[in-house]
Amino acid sequence: MDSVDKLEEVASKETLQQTRKGLRFWAIMVVLALTSLLTSLEATVTSTVLPVIVADLGGGDNYIWVANAYFLTMAALQPMFGQLANVFGRRWPIILSTVAFVFASGICGGASNMAMMIAGRAIQGVGGSGVGVLCEIIICDLVPLRERGLYMAIVFGMVSLGAALGPLFGGLIVSYSNWRWAFYMALPIGGPALVLLVVFLHVKYDKSMTLATKLSSLDWLGNAVFIGASTSVLIALSWAGGEYPWSSYKVLVPLIIGMVSLVGFVALEATPFTANPMMPLHLFANRITAAVFLLTFLHGLVTMWAFYFLPVYFQGVLNATPYRSGIMLLPTILSLVPGAIIGGVLLTKLGRYKPILFVAFALIVVGFGLFSLLDQNSSTGAWVAFQIIESFGAGLALPVLLPALLAPMTDKDTAVATGTWAFMRSFGVTWGVAIAGTIFSNRAAQLAGSGAIGSNATVTAQFMAGGAYQDATANFLDSLSPQTRAQVVAVQSIALQRSWQVAIAFGGLGVIAAAVVKEVPLRKELDSDFGITEKDNSNDEMAETTEKGAPSGHTVIST
């Protein structure tokens, strides 16, 4: 009998441990949902506020770092927060991350120059990184693996909702108030959330280690190498195709340095010199986890592909304003959240992740295939229905990926595995935007070079220089003559079709990965050292969920 069969035998004998989810549990869930909503809202609010900020603060070409500084620090620090959670527990890392986020929001709102704004956004990203990873880890600590899907769906649904509402809120703020409230609005939300964390989030952790012991147990060198390497790659991707062409040394040098450094990081983590690696290589050592990490990367890639390039279709082909484009994107959000909830419920009821992931990526492939049929003559019903199909598939997978990753692992791996998983998701998001933008711009440049915009030499030159993405706006279209506008719309429509076609291939890779991933029974009990602490005679505390002497079958499975 192999290890998988043993685990199945153990799981079949388990009964779902009953936990009393009282006041503290639900208060914690509320604050996790609130902070998740807030960090994702602040991530995207600058998309519509940025032009007004630049007009007020100046800053020239540095404006791009108002967005990039947030995403770079958020992505690069996620694995580090996984290790910090193991060493220092969950309570203080998430409290301090929330403090950093709220404090940085005040810095951004009060910024008097672009340097101050960028610094504030970088600190916001640090806080957002910790909040995001710790929210996911805490859910894993409080809820057995079999039940996590539904609670993950709640948090990820709030993340998706915040990301969608950010541009809309930004547009409303600059229309009816001062741009500074795009950041100040974090204070009345973050403040109460911080109070709730302090009052209700009391979880267990190892109190026997001294501060010196805790600090010495951190993988300082590994964290430094990883942060430097991932930042280098992310900077290159943020510049590629937009700021500079892929062939530019300003893209190639940081990209090559970063990728080589990541290889060096992997080698470092495998050496005996790293006693407590921040990203243990056994996380990738079996077919299940390797497939789920790939699925996570692909899910981030294709989700952002649609999220970023549907607005290009709405604005560059259908001539919608940015605000109306946000409204037109609502079917994506309004179907993603129910999809996530249904995915979470199915995971809890069925205890199986493989069929959910397979159906999810199949729907994503169908959705992108339908997107490739869209053009300037498509009906409203078509682009609404196509969004619902693709986004529902993306939502189905959203709460299932992390439980699938943790299924063959012990609960002791939860923190570092979650931090690594969060980075893979962010890494996929960055690659998705970069690849989609490059394909779109290159195809538009080819069409322009072949004479597709023959009526306007200036626009032709702009497109041949890779400017199609920047010009996919209603304002740009309105500045053109009717003949040139029709030609530009046709070029952008065809370029988008090529982009969607390539996205089908990435989604198809996800279908294959979902088909080959092995199914492992989801544990019905907790074996965590970080559950909610109990208080005597309290009726609204969660009962202790950790039983000593957990089944030996709960080990990382080599396949």
Distance CA 458, CA 522 (A): 60
The phi, psi pair for 244, rounded to 5°, reads -140, 155
Residue 405, pLDDT > 80, answer yes
Residue 113, pLDDT > 50, answer yes
Confidence of residue 534 (pLDDT cuts 50, 70, 90): low
DSSP state of 207: -
Determine the 3-state secondary structure of 245 from DSSP. Answer: coil
Token pair of 259 as six digits: 């990728």
CB 16 within 8 A of CB 524: yes
pLDDT in tens, 290-310: 999 999 999 999 998 998 889
Residue 180, pLDDT > 90, answer yes
* C-alpha torsion sign, points 299, 301, 302, 308: positive
Hey, how many other C-beta atoms are within 10 angstroms of the C-beta on 451?
10
DSSP state of 527: -
Counting other chains too, the contacts that 374-383 makes at CB distance below 8 Å and 24 or more residues apart are 374/313, 374/317, 374/493, 374/496, 374/497, 374/500, 375/317, 375/493, 375/497, 376/317, 376/318, 376/489, 376/490, 376/493, 383/310, 383/313, 383/328
Query: What mean pLDDT is predicted for residues 322-335?
Result: 84
Distance CA 182, CA 194 (A): 19
pLDDT for the residue 528: 57
Confidence of residue 65 (pLDDT cuts 50, 70, 90): confident
Counting other chains too, the contacts that 195-198 makes at CB distance below 8 Å and 24 or more residues apart are 196/27, 196/28, 196/30, 196/31, 196/34, 197/31, 197/91, 197/94, 197/95, 197/98, 198/95
β partners of residue 435: none
Residue 381, pLDDT > 90, answer yes
Distance CA 544, CA 487 (A): 66
State the average pLDDT for the chain: 84
Distance CA 281, CA 21 (A): 35
**Range with lowest mean pLDDT among 102-106, 393-397, 449-453:** 449-453
Determine the 3-state secondary structure of 532 from DSSP. Answer: strand
pLDDT for the residue 532: 57
pLDDT for the residue 538: 40
Of 74, 79, 68, which is closest to residue 265 (Cα–Cα)?
79
The phi, psi pair for 260, rounded to 5°, reads -65, -40
Ramachandran assignment for 47, one of left (phi > 0), alpha (psi -120 to 50 degrees), beta (any other): alpha
Hey, how many other C-beta atoms are within 10 angstroms of the C-beta on 470?
12
Tokens 């004479």 correspond to: 451
Residue 123, pLDDT > 60, answer yes
Determine the 3-state secondary structure of 90 from DSSP. Answer: coil
Confidence of residue 209 (pLDDT cuts 50, 70, 90): confident
Which stretches of 143-219 are DSSP H helices? 148-176, 181-184, 186-200, 211-216
Distance CA 67, CA 55 (A): 16
CB 317 within 8 A of CB 126: no
Query: What mean pLDDT is predicted for residues 101-109?
Result: 94
Of 66, 389, 109, 79, which is closest to residue 226 (Cα–Cα)?
79
pLDDT for the residue 11: 43
Task: Please report, rounded to a whole number, the percentage of residues in the chain having pLDDT higher than 70.
Answer: 89
Residue 9, pLDDT > 60, answer no
Token pair of 447 as six digits: 């069409």
Of 266, 17, 52, which is closest to residue 171 (Cα–Cα)?
52
Distance CA 419, CA 433 (A): 22
CB 107 within 8 A of CB 123: yes
pLDDT in tens, 237-260: 888 766 778 888 888 999 999 999
pLDDT for the residue 397: 94
Distance CA 390, CA 395 (A): 9
Query: How long, in residues, is the chain?
Result: 559
Which stretches of 317-413 are DSSP H helices? 322-328, 330-350, 354-371, 380-397, 401-406
Residue 506, pLDDT > 70, answer yes
* C-alpha torsion sign, points 217, 218, 221, 225: positive
Token pair of 487 as six digits: 């030609």
Residue 12, pLDDT > 60, answer no
Confidence of residue 527 (pLDDT cuts 50, 70, 90): low
Q: Which amino acid is at 451?
A: G
Confidence of residue 134 (pLDDT cuts 50, 70, 90): very high
Distance CA 34, CA 158 (A): 8
